[in-house]
Amino acid sequence: MSLSALRPALSRGRRITAAVALGLALGVGGAAAVGSPAAAAPGDHAWCDDYKFSMARNSEGKCVELIQVYLYQYGFGSYLNGHGGIDGDFGAATDRAVRAFQNKYKSRTGPADGEVGPKTWATFGYLA
């Protein structure tokens, strides 16, 4: 089954997830490294079981990994490359990427404060 056959039934975020999963299943693109965007499933919050609605600098865990996946998905991965990638650590690189995301979508997220609160989470979901 091709991804184009799934297009009507899947949102953009789900299509990206399906493409990543299909690529991994077929072995396309080499092995997925732990810190690569393909290692996590954007659009699926089920694996973020310790979900907190406000994440900021020095937070860590699966929810931070989800934030990092979204940042890659929406074009802000260059801030993370070479600085830990998807590592579950909300450090300086993730803070810069979040602020850049918030600057781009400030009409939805509010001021770029580096905190992933309700408005930033909602914007991630809106774009998916």
Domains along the sequence of the chain with CATH: 34-127 (1.10.101.10)
* Amino acid at residue number 8: P
| Percent of the chain scoring above 70 in pLDDT | 59
Using an 8 Å Cβ cutoff, are 55 and 90 in contact? yes
How many Å apart are CA 73 and CA 80, to the nearest integer? 12
Query: Does residue 8 surpass a pLDDT of 70?
Result: no
Query: Does residue 11 surpass a pLDDT of 60?
Result: no
How many Å apart are CA 12 and CA 38, to the nearest integer? 16
> pTM to 2 decimals?
0.65
**Which carries the bigger pLDDT value, residue 43 or residue 101?**
101
